[in-house]
Amino acid sequence: MQNSHTFHIPVLGIGFSLDAPAKVAKYGISSVMSIVDDRIAEEVRAYYCRQRNEEYVPITDEDPDPRANRITAYLNLIGTIVRERSAALQSAAFEPGSEITTYFELLPEQSELHTRYNAMLACTDAARRAQLQQELRAAIEPGDIDVNIMVKVDKDNYRNGEKLPAEYADAMAALRGYARSELDSSVVLSAGFNRRLARYMESFAAFQPDAAGNLRKKIVLKVSDFRSALTQARMFARSGLWISEFRIESGLNCGGHTFATDGYLLGPVLEEFKTRRTELLDTLYAIYTDALVKRGSAVPPRPAFRITAQGGVGTASEHDFLLEHYAVDSVGWGSPFLLVPECINVDPDTLQRLAAAGGEQIVSSGASPLGVPFSNLTNSASEIHKHELARRGNPGSPCPKGLLKFNTEFTELPICTASRTYQRKKIAELDAQNLPADQYQLRHFEIIERVCLCRDLSGSVAVNYKTNAHGEKPTPAVCPGPNLAFFTKVASLREMVDHIYGRMSLINGARRPHMFVNELKLYVSDLARQLLKTMRDTGARSVQEFRSYRDNLLQGIEYYRSLINSLDRDYEHWKTALMAEVAAAKHQLDELSTAYPDLNTPADA
């Protein structure tokens, strides 16, 4: 029996879920905070200290380890808040509207705790009812307070013009800040593999098992396909580090930065994890135990790992299908929670823009200085401000935080491609090329499209909590996934949880294709975009690589056709629409093959 929630809230941008655990963990809901920005964490720590009438001692840049220590202090404060709020909930009276009543009412009906709660309500014997209430109180557990590190956001840092040792790089310091914190939770590693970060994790005892095999701090890998998951997990296992969860996310049907696979669709990927789960466990445990033996550590009992899924889920039936058919342990609901201000930081203006946004306002963009496609709201305050600066002839950001300084085209030390310095130099270089007007406009737009995500993805926090250490008026950016276009109203936490569990619907009858179809359409569009780009640019991906992309999509389509035919009666209502939508996507793919005949040419022809 399931005792707790079957969903979690993934990391949302930089600031949106920064203090989500302080708001939802008391209800048993797990969530993930970004720790990429130590300065906004410090500002929010100051805010909570004021709210709690506690002394706030700032951690300044003069501190010997400012980034790590800010993160540690912030996480410890959030942990304290969660413990206090959970204890208050546990001691509340079982009466309508109380927090403890809300805790149990939010649970899925099939959970053991929800069943026990209903039994307590039905009990008429006062003494027995009181005993049942005490047993329920003892069973309450807060949700996990997890953190996220984008492992490639790991620039080296300098002090007084001198480069600091590697452990002071951004991702390394963030990891150290988490490892030293009091939290017993998980760190979600996203956006690839960072070898030096993985090696650094070995040095922290919190990631090592005790004699019983328990881990104080666990490692979660966010992945998009089985092969990369196995490759990364083996590297960690060789270092004596166990992966406690594989968090499978759609490469394109998600918010924030998107990392397209080579046409590997979510359904087939989940199927591979399902069928090869035991193989994965056996392989990793053999490598893991060998590493522990070689360094003289005790070998713990065989651990398990969780498999979770996220990216584009939007209905209770999709949620249930992922749990039942693929046996995932939890389902991530991200973008829809951007419309739940009760637990997520979105400023009022951005909130209304999100509620009104359709598919034409939520797009894959080139706004990220990382050079990775970024799911973006086109009419956010950040986008409006960016284009206004360009119209004034003063594009770019003053770069107040500098977290994404990776470019050395024009400077010895790295700068950010969204910075004013970079964009001025890049435009001057473009001006000297004397390109035709249409080519010039395209290149110019690509330069000024980059936006200051370090500042603007925490802009809502600056508005809501009146923090604004860098002095400029906040211009919030927001990074919803395409799925948000089907949600059109601001919701309470109870409403969103009830939507997840099928007790109500927030989609309001809107025509919404299945999550697998939405992802398939995104991949077909991405393939079309990349093929078009090869016609314009030199040095683009080879035709063979595109053929592999196309073929993987075709295999995914065949998988979905087989899946549709095997659906049982609980999901039979999907069949007609799903089959038609998959056929339409297949037709689009066939049209691409016709338009680009080289896709059909053998590699050695």
pLDDT at position 216: 95
What is the β-pairing status of strands 158-159 and 162-163?
A: antiparallel
Q: What is the pLDDT of residues 550-596, one digit of tens each?
A: 999 999 999 999 999 998 877 888 888 899 999 999 999 999 988 88
Give the containing element (helix H, strand E) for 188.
strand 186-190
Token representation of residue 26? 């008391």
CA dist 420 and 394 (Å) reads: 8
Q: What is the pLDDT of residues 155-197, one digit of tens each?
A: 999 998 899 999 999 999 999 999 999 999 999 999 889 999 9
Q: What is the pLDDT of residues 287-316, one digit of tens each?
A: 999 999 999 998 888 999 999 999 999 999
CA 517, 519, 524, 529 torsion-angle sign: positive
pLDDT at 598 over 80: no
Picking from 107, 197, 115, the residue whose alpha carbon sits closest to that of residue 152 is 197
Tell me how far apart the terminal alpha carbons of the chain are, to the nearest angstrom.
Answer: 57
Q: What is the pLDDT of residues 218-271, one digit of tens each?
A: 999 999 999 999 999 999 999 999 999 999 999 999 999 999 999 999 999 999
Residues 325 and 570 sit within 8 Å (Cβ to Cβ): no
* % of the chain residues with pLDDT over 70: 96
Query: According to DSSP H, which parts of 26-158 are helical?
Result: 38-51, 66-90, 99-106, 112-122, 126-139
pLDDT at 537 over 80: no
pLDDT at 67 over 80: yes
Could you give the 3-state DSSP secondary structure of residue 248?
strand
pLDDT band for position 544 (50/70/90)?
Answer: low
- CB proximity list for 118: less than 8 A, separation 6 or greater: none
pLDDT at 602 over 90: no
pTM of the model: 0.94
CA dist 378 and 361 (Å) reads: 5
Q: Where are the domains of the chain?
A: 1-184, 361-477, 515-600
pLDDT at position 315: 96
pLDDT at position 479: 96
pLDDT at position 1: 35
Mean pLDDT for the chain?
93
State the Rg of the chain over Cα.
25
Q: In which residue are the tokens 């098992």 written? A: 209
CA dist 304 and 373 (Å) reads: 34
Query: According to DSSP H, which parts of 91-149 are helical?
Result: 99-106, 112-122, 126-139
Picking from 520, 509, 487, the residue whose alpha carbon sits closest to that of residue 361 is 487
Describe the strand order of the beta sheet including 374-377 as a list of residue ranges.
256-257, 374-377, 362-365
pLDDT at position 211: 81
Q: What is the pLDDT of residues 325-350, one digit of tens each?
A: 999 999 999 999 999 999 999 999 99
CA dist 241 and 207 (Å) reads: 7
pLDDT at 2 over 60: no
Q: What number is the average pLDDT over the span 75-103?
A: 98
Q: How many residues does the chain have?
A: 605
Q: What is the pLDDT of residues 344-373, one digit of tens each?
A: 999 999 999 999 998 899 999 999 999 999
* % of the chain residues with pLDDT over 90: 84
